[in-house]
Amino acid sequence: MRPERAQETIHTSDLQVTILEIDSDIVRDLRTRFPDDCSYLSYGQMVLVARGVALTFDLHSGLEDPVALRNVLSSLKSIPVRGVLPGSMSSGNSVNVRPPAPPIVLAAMPFDRSAPARLLLPEVLLISFNPEDTSPALYPGQAPALAPTEATSAAAVITATGSSDHEKLLHEHLEQLGVKEMTQGGLWAHVSNSFEVADVLSPQHFLDIVASALDLIEQRPHSEERNNDPLSMTPGMPSSIRGANLEKVVLARQVEVRSTEKLSPARIASRLADLEPASAIFAIEGTVGASPELLVARSGPLVRSHPLAGTFRRAVSDSQQGTGPEHLSRKDLSEHRLVVDAVAAALELVCESLHVPTTPDLVHLRSVSHFGTRIVGHLNRYNKAQPDALDDLPSSLELVSLLHPTPAVAGTPRDIALRLIDELEGFDRGLYAGPVGWMDSGGDGTWMLGIRSAELAGNVARMTAGAGIVAGSHPQSELDETNFKLESTIRAITE
């Protein structure tokens, strides 16, 4: 459910942000029982629950307009703030980490970087975090050192309103959030739905487009190996990109779940938190998911990214799947390196130092495991991509624009991969694989990739899963990979 826009035109000059400290148990309880009209994001020890929209920041050209991106930050800075987040003055904070600086905006953006997008400034935002945590931008795939109930948390409620009676607004929202009656059982109950699950386009369509992509990657004549197969319906390679030097393309397929009852994003998010505890859980703008992939996080001058690529089916026990990446194929390692090199090359433009491990880790999720590389850098105020620009640090939103879409969700070279995706897939990706996250008034923020997700519309959930196609890929194996990636989301909806 997309949050409704404010009913009247409101400008940043009309708003005031107020911060009040609250019991962190309130936010912790909402982690598993927030209402369906809320936006929600949690990862590590950070939890954000938002309700209502005080202001929207529209990006009419998506991530393509650098002036609009910078204007979001300057607008946030102009809003007066009363109060500070608990823990903001804590002497225990690492020099590399700082708590968010309200006001804070949330967003789920389209995969298409040029498509219109918007950021939401909530009327009420409940936030919980650990002010002593030295890594609040915790990498997905790594369970928090302390369970949320064991962590020393600080919490606050942040209101943004043009009304002088912010206490009345706060009371109304908190009443709807149910924080005065925190009875076990929550705000929603399980209902016995029946479900239908079906591909939007046939599995054969996916097999065919993977085969077409392989023709281009491996520079095979299109008819090779299939010209004598009367059942083959493989589409012809677009003439505009025939002969192009493509190394990787990520192709996706969509599956639709239809329920007899309206689907609850809150219930699905709560179930995903159980199924994928090492992932970031989100429910924003009608999309709900459990993302294992950190696109980019900024905390002051510190920047992090955790690209994932190279996927294999997770075995029943760790002993069955090996203890390190050496047992996987050279193809998987090559695919992963393509992504890491692209992310590192982009971040080098804005970093004075960048640490990129030469060997990836294995990130284990419920159904699959991935190669993951934890990239950490220190931003330079001098932007090497624009030698005449001696500006402030790039905001987290500007870093999103610098990186998205990475080869993890598009391919490389990017322009050729995107043209092939547009030609072959047969559907609009929407919010799938787009940036999902938050940014504060200081430009800090955390942005995930909106993968392992579903877009909800009433009683229908549409899920998208992709696979990276490189030389040596096999169509049936890539189809199997998408099935593995869909497992947790389908279970969260139907069980």
Task: Spell out the SS3 assignment of 360-395.
Answer: CEEEECCCEEEEECCEEEEECCECCCCCCCECCCCC
Q: Which pLDDT belongs to residue 385?
A: 57
Q: Which residues, other chains included, contact 296 with Cβ-Cβ below 8 Å and sequence gap of 6+? A: 303, 304, 305, 396, 399, 400, 403, 447
| Percent of the chain topping pLDDT 90 | 53
Average pLDDT over residues 213-232: 60
CA distances from residue 495 to 221, 259, 292 in whole angstroms, order as listed:
46, 12, 21
H runs (alpha helix) in 251-329: 265-275, 318-321
Residue that has been written with the tokens 């209502």 in this structure:
52
What are the residue boundaries of the structural domains of the chain, listed by start? 12-177, 195-494
CATH architecture for segment(s) 195-494? 4-Layer Sandwich (3.60)
Provide the b/e sequence for 414-448 (b: ≥16 CB within 10 Å).
bebbbbbbebbbeeebbbbbbbbbbbbbbbbbbbb
Most confident of the following: 68-82, 241-255, 302-316, 317-331? 68-82
Separation between Cα atoms, residue 325 and residue 260, nearest integer Å: 43
Average pLDDT over residues 91-116: 80
Structure tokens at 275: 């199924």
Cβ contact 5:130 at 8 Å: no
Q: Which residues, other chains included, contact 40 with Cβ-Cβ below 8 Å and sequence gap of 6+? A: 34, 48, 49, 50, 265, 266, 269, 281, 282, 283, 284
- Torsions phi, psi for 76 (to 5 deg): -60, -40
Structure tokens at 225: 């190996």
Separation between Cα atoms, residue 285 and residue 455, nearest integer Å: 9
| Percent of the chain topping pLDDT 70 | 73
CA distances from residue 20 to 83, 179, 182, 354 in whole angstroms, order as listed:
7, 15, 20, 38
- Torsions phi, psi for 289 (to 5 deg): -170, 180
Most confident of the following: 84-88, 91-95, 374-378? 374-378
Query: In a 10 Å sphere around its CB, with 0-12 CB exposed, 13-18 middle and 19+ buried, how is residue 29 labelled?
Result: middle
Q: Which pLDDT belongs to residue 404?
A: 98
Q: Which pLDDT belongs to residue 477?
A: 93
Residues that are catalytic: 248, 293
Q: Which pLDDT belongs to residue 281?
A: 95
Q: Which pLDDT belongs to residue 479?
A: 94
